[in-house]
Chains A and B, each alone.
Chain A
């Protein structure tokens, strides 16, 4: 953020100190708990206030995501691709804001931040392109020993909780979020605890694009406080624990245990136990982040003579 700016000729201008809110169901509510926390850059300088989401905010977000699921999963794959591509367009329009925030949050040089933002937008476009191609690659006509057509097709699993990566605040976030929603799932995202600003700006981009309210819900706050409630939530169908690596005061094994209660699909962080690490997000992605959040529907249809 810029230091106190001089306005034209009339002395010092008062800082506009931002206090951001959550993004739930297409709206920007304050945390139910009324709390917020200070976000600082790598050197401890104040950047903004972010809402400190609570378990009840997570609960509301799951309700919103469940409500949006039927419409999003029921939209045609082609339509979902268009909607997601539009998000990339809006992100491109906010490029300089993303660059500033990635610089401040991750403490990287401007040129590096530019590269990260470009990769994040390209990553979004990459996943947007997959929406109407998944069924051809992951589905198929199965040979069976009988007079039937036997057809398998991938379908979204439902509401997915996503713990966003703690370090890579934009590229990492896009790399875990886009694969979840491109197939028709809806998502509740716990953003990076210490670096939430790019996620907040992404929520503003989402609100001004065509993504229906509730498809993506972003909660800022303490990962260790809210994540267990999402892991144990019976109305959440899958959980991506990527962001549990490096999260303060959190053992991802406990989350996996809680998630087992209703047989959630679980994506573990890379690495073992306390040594879990974030993957290298700059590498070219594949389908490995899409497939864990799919169910396979198989249809048997009698062959005519």
Chain B
């Protein structure tokens, strides 16, 4: 971990945006001309590059290292209407002991739940070091009035959430109302400040499945970073397509270029649809090649996933025992209605 979670309150996002954009008043027109001046994404080139990075062969010790790293980057997620306190406690138990047969298995970075489950998760995780992330701001649609979104965020923060996953207003973004999106993110970022002055880290979900083009993904990424997001996250997991490799590649380019511009690092979290170890390793290759090895750290890169953990554990067991393992040897955390 290169920086502590409890960072100082964010600098005034609007003032910094004015500086970066070189304007005296932050207007929608100023944001539009800045975001639309970003170079367009070559769709064919981007997808070919992602496909090329997906063909790397990762074997033996490198694979073992990658699997452990990927496990430590997981935000173990349950975001179902049918979630119960018992299910959340079960997930937390799994986060603390991911594979009881191999106690050296690393723990995932965080458990990600709805706001009303934060206290339960916090209590179950105790001093394990696993963080609690909470979705907020009328997740997953984001269709609520601002006071509701802010109250949602404050509730989660005061219940003890270490991280907040917010959704942007895609309707406003797609209709070109960038200033509204900017303000919402900045206000939610302020709502992440705790009473003692420390802050919960803010992940901004762009829901790339609804943004249609890679150009929009790039603009949404820059807008989120400009407004003070600590992480940019692809998807809620409720919309398909979710976290594809090309979309994540565009976002990794954005955080790399943002660091060149401002000197600040922003994290990236692909979420939804990443189910196999093979997929996870492809993402790690892409992180290393596009953003750089500084991002190969659970503090700066996360996987939003639930079933991925079991597949990584199966691969880990396969490497440890020298035989293929099976579903009977990992805990079953699939949603059960019984």
Chain A interfacial positions (CB closer than 8 Å to B)? 59, 62, 66, 229, 232-236, 258, 261-262
Contacts and interface: CB of A to CB of B under 8 A. Distances in A.
- Main secondary structure, interface of B, reads loop
Contacts of A62: 324, 326
Contacts of B327: 66, 235
A232 B323 contact: yes
Contacts of A66: 326-327
A236 B323 CA distance: 11
A16 B329 CA distance: 47
Contacts of A229: 323-324
A39 to B, nearest CB: 28
B326 A232 contact: no
A234 B325 CA distance: 5
A183 to B, nearest CB: 20
Contacts of B325: 234-235
Interface in B295-338: 322-329
A122 B323 CA distance: 38
Nearest to B324: A233
18 contacts: A59-B324, A62-B324, A62-B326, A66-B327, A229-B323, A232-B322, A232-B323, A232-B324, A233-B324, A233-B326, A234-B324, A234-B325, A235-B326, A235-B328, A236-B326, A258-B323, A261-B323, A262-B328
Contacts of B329: 234
A236 B328 CA distance: 10
Contacts of A234: 323-326, 328-329
Interface of B: 322-329
Nearest to B326: A235
Residue in A236, A261, A262 with the greatest tally of chain B CB atoms within 10 Å? A262
Nearest to B322: A232
A258 B325 CA distance: 13
B293 to A, nearest CB: 29
Given A234-B324, A234-B329, 6 more contacts: A62-B324, A232-B322, A233-B323, A233-B324, A235-B324, A235-B327
A294 B245 CA distance: 44
A55 to B, nearest CB: 8
B100 to A, nearest CB: 15
B121 to A, nearest CB: 31
Contacts of B322: 232
A153 B327 CA distance: 25
A229 B321 CA distance: 12
A59 B277 CA distance: 15
B178 to A, nearest CB: 45
A236 B329 CA distance: 12
B276 to A, nearest CB: 11
A262 B323 CA distance: 11
A235 B324 CA distance: 7
Nearest to B327: A235
Contacts of A261: 323
B317 to A, nearest CB: 8
Contacts of A235: 324-328
Nearest 4 CB-CB pairings of A with B: A235-B326, A232-B323, A234-B326, A233-B324
Contacts of A59: 324
Contacts of B323: 229, 232-234, 258, 261
Residue in B323, B328, B329 with the greatest tally of chain A CB atoms within 10 Å? B323
A80 B234 CA distance: 45
Contacts of B328: 234-235, 262
A73 to B, nearest CB: 15
A235 B311 CA distance: 14
A181 B89 CA distance: 40
Residue in A233, A234, A235, A236 with the greatest tally of chain B CB atoms within 10 Å? A234
A236 B327 CA distance: 11
A234 B326 CA distance: 5
Contacts of A233: 323-324, 326
A66 B329 CA distance: 14
A233 B323 CA distance: 6
Nearest to A232: B323
B10 to A, nearest CB: 46
Nearest to A235: B326
A203 to B, nearest CB: 23
Nearest to A230: B324
A236 B324 CA distance: 9
Nearest to B323: A232
A243 to B, nearest CB: 20
Residue in A59, A66, A235, A261 with the greatest tally of chain B CB atoms within 10 Å? A235
Nearest to A55: B324
A66 B326 CA distance: 10
B54 to A, nearest CB: 16
A285 B324 CA distance: 34
A150 to B, nearest CB: 25
